[in-house]
Structure 1
């Protein structure tokens, strides 16, 4: 299969830094550029939405070395994401680089969780190749929104639905998620959309639903293409109004659905949630009893000595740390430091300056009373 060549194209420093820590894992992004034009894409935040042709920032072997050599990487523990902020993993010109990276990691005997997010075609031969991996715990997350406005979602949702069908077959230890996002009030939250999502959930090993990152960059892009102004304001966190969440949960009934990505991955693989959400019980009030039992058995409140040791490793001031039975709160912590501590402890770590309000599950205030 044809592969990309390392490009000399000018890139901002944020894109030349191919490894960074995000909530769902340590993220590897050494391919930049995507032609799919999803209007809500996080590429708006990294200054590369205009790049439609994928470019290779560095060779795959060098990128993997940067990943496993990152200060926060821990063998068999750190969740890993591949190509989740600057391209789509299963674009034909990109997926050979995806396979080369995960096969390199697998040959090292690593058992880390690996998340691969796509809204493009996943083919039977792709599933066969992924299923041959011996060590990594792989989850393919199929992004599906049901949005029909082509200014916002120019890629047909039929593609994601067919990928779910392909992944629904025999696939060994590989698992698939219906990644229902972004859900937007008045756009794709009708009874028909919810019914369609519930039917699609039967094709996946778990279903995760979430809202929209509606920040200034996204709002400005929507205005530039004549798309509707979806909410009255912008927000740092994802917007998913309270009534929309309640209708979705009620409609799914006994069909499992999860608020958090790591919760869905945990359920799909029959393991505890690596983000430690069990300490925030109102997040878990929709989880199946069997999964709650798995997470409860793995849950413990960490010792302050362990917290301080991790804080020192992450370069966090230990003086600004407090802890209760629900979460650790840290003053002046950066996101990469926070997620490193959270995954190391399997316990929620929050930034004092960005408090999580009770019952809102880390969502934006918009639409919540």
Structure 2
């Protein structure tokens, strides 16, 4: 992993976050240290704890997602369990891939972290974040059986494919990895047959296509991304979660939607359309859509990037 570098003091970072115009107390989902580093690396986790404690001490009940491949110690869990307000979820990434050109961090570390969480965590929820699933690398029945066994340590399992964009393909080629798919894609690749086999292996276990769905189930709350309107995403969800999300799901009023669109400076207000499934807009950025989506608990899509039915927001590869 890259060596992390501290950019700004933890307290300043938290203050800038909660002072941002787009931050909504108790609503905006938060992810911490999920891109440039791993939050549980020895040089990073002190800052993770300080940031979480600063948010928790302000009384915020926002959902917080901490994604890690690294080692979690019982003492780490003790400190996280002391938080009283944040809805904290630890998502432990596991792939089962043993080719270190593709997966440089041993999956055995994730196994150990899940076991520690299973033994120590109560208020803190834990997710088996099964990713990336790649055809020909970790989609065998043995991998699926291993994932099911690991799921016993977690409150829920979320599975997903690979972001195989041009820069990822170039990185793997430089590392000597043969092309994983025939083409690149903007969205994650997970072929239909792989999903079918995964769901067959996980019959009777809580497994989810979307991260926010797994987090919602673990905490017993509605999905903050409002996927309930896209019913084919929810066809694998437990009935109890259907009821929780169903009670929250309401088609929003056009004026409420336009008001939020004005907040994010969306240009085409007249082009907004609302159905029971989703709000559709034009000329939007991901950040604009997410702000509206989280405020409404209702999916917001852009016409230029259509979501095909039954694709679950995935690439066309393997679904043609």
RMSD: 0.7
Instruction: State the TM-score, normalized to the length of structure 2.
Output: 0.98
- The corresponding residue for 2:187 is 237
Unmatched 5+ residue regions in structure 2? none
What displacement does 1:225 show? 0.8
Question: Which of 192, 200, 215 is residue 165 of structure 2 equivalent to?
Answer: 215
- The corresponding residue for 1:309 is 259
Q: Does 1:360 align with 2:311?
A: yes
Q: Does 1:335 align with 2:286?
A: yes
- Measure, in 2, the Cα distance between the counterparts of 1:155 and 1:295: 36
Superposed counterparts of 1:243-322, under 5 Å? 243-317=193-267, 318-322=269-273
What displacement does 1:103 show? 0.3
Superposed counterparts of 1:188-199, under 5 Å? 188-199=138-149
Superposed counterparts of 1:116-195, under 5 Å? 116-195=66-145
1:37-82 CA-partner distances (Å, limit 9, x unpaired): xxxxxxxxxxxxxxx2110111111111111112210001111000
- The corresponding residue for 1:105 is 55
1:209-242 CA-partner distances (Å, limit 9, x unpaired): 0000000111001010101210000011000001
Superposed counterparts of 1:44-55, under 5 Å? 52-55=2-5
What displacement does 1:254 show? 1.2
**Moved >2 Å (runs of 4+):** none
What displacement does 1:319 show? 2.0
1:167-187 CA-partner distances (Å, limit 9, x unpaired): 002423110000000000111
Asked whether the 8 Å contact 2:74–2:120 carries over to 1, the reply is: no
**3-state SS of 1:285 partner:** helix
Q: Does 1:349 align with 2:310?
A: no
- Measure, in 1, the Cα distance between the counterparts of 2:161 and 2:271: 31
- The corresponding residue for 1:18 is none
Instruction: State the TM-score, normalized to the length of structure 1.
Output: 0.86
**3-state SS of 2:22 partner:** coil
**3-state SS of 1:71 partner:** coil
- The corresponding residue for 1:96 is 46
Asked whether the 8 Å contact 1:80–1:113 carries over to 2, the reply is: yes
**3-state SS of 2:234 partner:** coil
- Measure, in 2, the Cα distance between the counterparts of 1:249 and 1:308: 39
- Measure, in 1, the Cα distance between the counterparts of 2:305 and 2:131: 23
Asked whether the 8 Å contact 2:207–2:236 carries over to 1, the reply is: yes
Q: Does 1:64 align with 2:14?
A: yes
1:318-345 CA-partner distances (Å, limit 9, x unpaired): 1221111100000001000000000100
- The corresponding residue for 1:6 is none
Range with bigger deviation, 337-346 or 319-328: 319-328
Superposed counterparts of 1:29-44, under 5 Å? 35=1
What displacement does 1:90 show? 0.3
Range with bigger deviation, 167-176 or 323-332: 167-176
Asked whether the 8 Å contact 1:320–1:332 carries over to 2, the reply is: no
- The corresponding residue for 2:176 is 226
Asked whether the 8 Å contact 1:215–1:235 carries over to 2, the reply is: yes
**3-state SS of 1:320 partner:** coil
- Measure, in 1, the Cα distance between the counterparts of 2:89 and 2:183: 34
Unmatched 5+ residue regions in structure 1? 1-34, 36-51
**3-state SS of 1:336 partner:** helix
- Measure, in 1, the Cα distance between the counterparts of 2:275 and 2:239: 24
